[in-house]
Chains A and B, each alone.
Chain A
Amino acid sequence: MIEMPVPNQQVIAKQARLAAALRAIVPPEQVIDTAEQLKAYECDGLNAYRQPPMLVVLPDTTEQVAKIVRLCNAEGAPIIPRGSGTSLAGGALPTADSVVLGMARMKSVMDVDYANRTIRVQTGITNLAVTGAVQPDGFFYAPDPSSQLACAIGGNIAMNSGGAHCLKYGVTTNNLLGVTMVMPDGEVLEFGGEHLDPGGYDFLSLICGSEGQLGICTEATLKILPVAEGARPMLFGFETNEVAGEAVAAIIRAGLQPVALEFMDKPAITVSENFAKAGYPLDVEALLIVEVEGSDAEIDEQLTRIEAVVAPFNPSTVKRSGNDIESAKIWAGRKAAFGAIGQLADYICLDGCVPLSQLPDVLKQTAELADKYDLKVANVFHAGDGNLHPLIMYEANDPDSARRAEELGADLLRLCVEKDGCLTGEHGVGIEKRELMLTQFNERELRQQMAIKDVFDPSWMLNPAKVFPLSLSEPHMKEIAAG
């Protein structure tokens, strides 16, 4: 079990007064203080952990955010920034003494600039709505987390989120040009803008991926790109995970630049096929979905080349999409995978990343560890960049099963680190991997990171119990409090 800090009763005692003060900042109904309504904010996508906050406030403007932050800071109430609450790492999990600052109302598109290929939005807007705003004009926003229908740009920035198409277009940090950020003391600062590169230190790089610990992003300038003329995937089936892993490396090495390269193992194939009837072969151990973009002729040539590169690995299934209907079918199983598994069991979705050459071995050891803990694991992941997503299936109502799932998860993440990889490729540390940070970094390395938070948030008001092991952050915060 992951521990959370003991809530500060002195802060909780101020609940009524704080609620009243917040209602002077935003319309009264945008402050939530009843137990029943607070429950809606008790967890994010890591729903094994739940704790309603003391209060929730839903501002409309940057000025309101600034006033809220100033108030909470003065009253010593920790702030939990929240986008859409889809974090899989517990990044938006509240504590009982905290104020959740929800960005859901701040979702307007402020400016679209096609000449410079940028869009300016409020950060509560969903990822998909950004693309939606520019799609009629032939543009899109590239990072595409599977949760894109729900997740907010503010959450994407905080987690530096990725998605299937990041292989070609990069993750959030590569597509972010500027932010308006409310600092923990309530000051509103601008970082970046419509230009490339910073004029001094690269603050945007720190802000992106800072998990809501350095400031509240209220507006952002994002790159938008022209939509490719077309895109079509191809499906390969393999007799072993190992061979599929080798085929991935061969495609990357050949310089074929697919836009997406997704991997599914046997358990994932079986569950998805039963659910989505995508026509996946059931007699293979691993599937690869490789997508390329361009004109029709370009697509055909690229797929032909990919087929040739993969041929020596003797794929037992080779299916090339010839049109949109066939493309949708190939993607249907992959897109349904998480949902399908969710119907069968509760699951924990891990997010370690390993070098491509380690994929086969890591998959093998994953299966062995799953056996050891007597749990089922399905693998559906972004293979092109080695970003694994083992889905550990368990029984949430059974404490023993939940404990085993958590232990297996920790073992698998340790394995990723051992293989020269990392704990998290795109979901973030949150509370979930907080204590494991000491397997990837030593204490000095983590203290250097914590020193960055000290610069931005000297009193550790923002999302304090996240990212860093409590064994380091709690004594540090005590020192700060003692002055």
Chain B
Amino acid sequence: MTVLTPDTEEAIAQIVRAAHEGDGPLELCGGGTRRGLGRPVQAASTLSLAGLNGVTLYEPGELTLVAQAGMSISALTDLLDGENQQLTFEPCDMRALLGTSGEPTIGGAIATGASGPRRLRMGAGRDAVLGVRYVNGQGDVLRAGGRVMKNVTGYDIPKLMCGAYGTLGVLTEISLKVMPKSEVVRTLALPGLSDVGAIDALSTALRMPCDVSAAAHLPASVSKELGFADAVTLLRIEGFETQADYRIQTLRDGLSMFGELTPVESDPWVAIRDAMFFAGDDRAVWRVSMKASEAARYVAVLRDQMDVEAFYDWGGGLIWLACDQGNDAAEPIIRGVLAEYGGHATLVRANETIRAAVPVFEPEPTSIAHLSAGLKAKFDPAGILNPGRMRA
């Protein structure tokens, strides 16, 4: 396996051009921390973005940051910290869950569509991206979008690149909208609710004008890892002091039928963001995105049919599941039951054999699969960028 680590965009373009003209497929790699996501890629060479790690532009007064794709999230976070700002989409760190090392990069986070608890309120990477520079599968260096806050000039290719897992282009530079940090961040908990009760409570909270910035439910088997005695339903409130106090009081009144809303001292959101509860064991892990109100019912049906551990983020719209790997990571049940509700399931962790055999991403209806293949062929005609990473 050759690892190529160019340090200019033009050098990347040359490598891709050569690959296109016959050198063969490339596996794209940022910090390598998300390498276990998606299907295993068959490529003789790895193209590392680690050499492209600078900041092109940071304008705190414009909430705008332009960074090269290989810049580490930690360096980027430090930079933003200095101006009391942060990323909007709270990208998860997959190292613990996937057992990888290295430094997560902004390119990797964007390419894998990563987000975190704030997805609920501020959107995912797709909602933060203002523009990209990328190298398509023919080695052309192209731009799309820009660095301004609003831009409808041409099709929204920057958003298409989010979650495309590097199959449509090599991201070299990304413009992002960032946000100020809140003066105070408070977490509140309702103890002891059933999954159904919790989803109901979260939905009630989210229907109140309190700008809840995260809403999760941890059933007892999971919450004990954070030291809770029982299941816990969690809400995050941000703002300035008096604002947060007022919102918390409003929520406390509005949620009184679900129990007493009490402050939580230690921050549970990083553990929730990174699905830490499932780190360090051998189970398969799934991420299910569905209509929040049906989440608890969906999980109940799964529990009737298999041994599964679950917790909920995004008010129930995101479910993390852990189950035995078996031969197929229980895919037939997980996707079979989900089909009745709508949404999609992604296999986040499983051994390579399973990830090669079981569709990691939700299978697409024929016509949509046709569109996906069509896009892939237009961006990467020779199929040299991360071949097979998303679809066989």
Scoring B residues 143 to 175 as 1 if CB is less than 8 Å from chain A, else 0, what string do you get? 110111111111111011011100010000000
Contact residues, B358-381 vs A (CB, 8 A): 361-362, 364-365, 367-368, 371-372, 374-375, 378-379
Q: Which one of A114, A305, A448 has the greatest number of beta carbons of chain B within 10 Å?
A: A448
Smallest CB–CB gap between A119 and chain B, Å? Answer: 14
Contact residues, A169-211 vs B (CB, 8 A): 170-171, 173-174, 183, 187, 189, 191, 193-203, 205-206, 208-210
Given the interface pairs A115-B293, A386-B149, the reply to whether A301 lies near B126 with Cβ below 8 Å is no
On whether the beta carbons of A426 and B126 are closer than 8 Å, the reply is no
Q: Which one of B62, B84, B203, B362 has the greatest number of beta carbons of chain A within 10 Å?
A: B62
Apart from A426-B150, A451-B378, 17 more pairs, CB < 8 Å: A174-B127, A187-B367, A189-B365, A189-B368, A194-B343, A195-B342, A197-B289, A200-B368, A202-B113, A205-B162, A206-B160, A249-B62, A255-B179, A353-B149, A387-B149, A440-B154, A441-B153
Question: B206: CB under 8 A from chain A?
Answer: yes
Give the B interface residue count (CB, 8 A).
79
- CB neighbours of B64 from chain A (8 A): 355
State the B residues within 8 Å of A (CB): 59-64, 84-85, 113, 115, 119, 123-124, 126-127, 136, 140, 142-144, 146-157, 159-160, 162-164, 168, 179-182, 203, 206-209, 239-240, 242-243, 246, 289-293, 314, 317-318, 342-346, 361-362, 364-365, 367-368, 371-372, 374-375, 378-379, 390-391
- CB neighbours of A420 from chain B (8 A): 146-148
On whether the beta carbons of A206 and B153 are closer than 8 Å, the reply is no
Question: A307: CB under 8 A from chain B?
Answer: no
C-alpha spacing A117/B181, complex, angstroms:
26
Question: A162: CB under 8 A from chain B?
Answer: yes
Q: Find B152's partner among A226, A302, A355, A424 (CB 8 Å cutoff).
A: A424
- CB neighbours of B361 from chain A (8 A): 199-200
- CB neighbours of B206 from chain A (8 A): 117, 226
- CB neighbours of A257 from chain B (8 A): 180
A–B Cβ pairs within 8 angstroms, 20 of them:
A116-B292, A160-B152, A191-B368, A194-B342, A201-B372, A202-B126, A227-B209, A229-B209, A253-B60, A255-B84, A297-B246, A298-B239, A353-B148, A357-B61, A425-B152, A448-B136, A448-B140, A448-B378, A452-B157, A454-B374
Given the interface pairs A115-B293, A116-B203, the reply to whether A422 lies near B151 with Cβ below 8 Å is yes
- CB neighbours of A2 from chain B (8 A): none
- CB neighbours of A191 from chain B (8 A): 368
On whether the beta carbons of B318 and A196 are closer than 8 Å, the reply is yes
Smallest CB–CB gap between B318 and chain A, Å? Answer: 7
On whether the beta carbons of B181 and A385 are closer than 8 Å, the reply is no
Q: Find A200's partner among B124, B181, B240, B364 (CB 8 Å cutoff).
A: B364
- CB neighbours of A226 from chain B (8 A): 206-209
State the A residues within 8 Å of B (CB): 113-117, 138, 159-160, 162, 166, 170-171, 173-174, 183, 187, 189, 191, 193-203, 205-206, 208-210, 226-229, 249-250, 252-255, 257, 294-295, 297-298, 301-302, 305, 353-357, 382, 384-387, 420-429, 433, 437, 440-441, 444-446, 448-449, 451-452, 454-456, 467
C-alpha spacing A253/B62, complex, angstroms:
7
On whether the beta carbons of A444 and B371 are closer than 8 Å, the reply is no
C-alpha spacing A114/B368, complex, angstroms:
29
Smallest CB–CB gap between B122 and chain A, Å? Answer: 9
- CB neighbours of A166 from chain B (8 A): 150
Given the interface pairs A206-B156, A353-B150, A440-B153, the reply to whether A200 lies near B126 with Cβ below 8 Å is no
